[in-house]
Amino acid sequence: HSLPTGGSVSDTLTLSNTCPAPLNFSISLPVQGLEWLSVLPETGQIPANGSVSITVSFDAANIWPGNYGGEFFVLVEDSVNPSYPVPVTLEVTEPAWIDPSPLVFSDTVLVGEQSTLPLQLSNSTNLGITVSDIISTHGDFSAAPAQLTVPATGNATVQVTFSPSAPGNFNAMLKLVNDFAAGDTSYVAVEGIAKLASGITPPELPESFAVSANYPNPFNPSTTIAYQLPSSAEVRLAIYNVLGQRVRVLIDR
């Protein structure tokens, strides 16, 4: 069976007797390892050439997410086959304690400002959930507090802040490191849009390589030579005299 933590389910197991006489039975459960399993009735009688049903119940009320298994035995008063093993397995899954939908900052946020949204954590189980860290895959998103406990059958709130450092559309994942999820980490997607405030435009890159005339000219004792690059490139700037002879290399990088 597969159950979320806190869930339960029951199954029916049929015991058959092909003998002409009634057959007494009893259920043997291990002392440890199957605390999540119960079988009723624990004793009884199977009619001659008949059958009886027993109820096998799985209870994940206090079980961490993971895979569990074992077996119990049906014991009968039969000298040939006195014991019948019954294998049982249980997969306990993580309940939806975090909304799987992305946390979206629907209002555009200005660069240099910030916006905050609540992330609700809801624990429907009888086990407390400890979050030891919240890690963002993008520096413009953060969460506080980064350490908290979501109490059993209770709720907690994390404040997620979007502080864009540049305009654009941003997507990130918040990784909640916790002691509850099967992989020790739960994830929340976050999305935000940022723009520059009105009247502010980003600096424009040059469209071509160019060197400007020095200023002042003539000069004494110094002058300035400006140059521009449309992209990252190697630069070599040298001075030549009127005869075409190189006098000095100013930049070579």
What's the pLDDT score for residue 201?
A: 58
Tens-digit pLDDT string for the chain (253 aa): 888 877 889 999 999 999 899 999 999 999 888 999 999 999 999 999 999 999 999 998 778 788 999 999 999 988 788 999 999 999 988 777 787 788 999 999 999 999 999 999 988 877 888 999 999 999 999 999 999 999 988 999 999 999 999 999 999 999 999 887 666 788 899 999 999 987 655 566 777 888 888 777 777 778 888 888 887 788 888 888 878 788 888 888 8
What's the pLDDT score for residue 58?
A: 95
Rounded to whole angstroms, how far apart are CA atoms 37 and 250? 83
> 3-state secondary structure string, 166-178?
CCEEEEEEEEEEE
CA angle (250 as vertex; 247, 252 as ends), nearest 5: 115
- pTM comes to 0.53
Domain ranges of the chain: 2-93, 103-195, 210-252
Domain 2-93 has CATH 3.20.20.80: no
Rounded to whole angstroms, how far apart are CA atoms 192 and 188? 13
Contact in structure between 88 and 153 (CB atoms under 8 Å): no
Give, as one character, the DSSP assignment of residue 60: -
Helix, coil or strand: residue 148:
strand
Domain 103-195 has CATH 2.60.40.10: yes
Whether 103-195 and 2-93 are alike in CATH topology: the answer is yes
What's the pLDDT score for residue 183?
A: 63
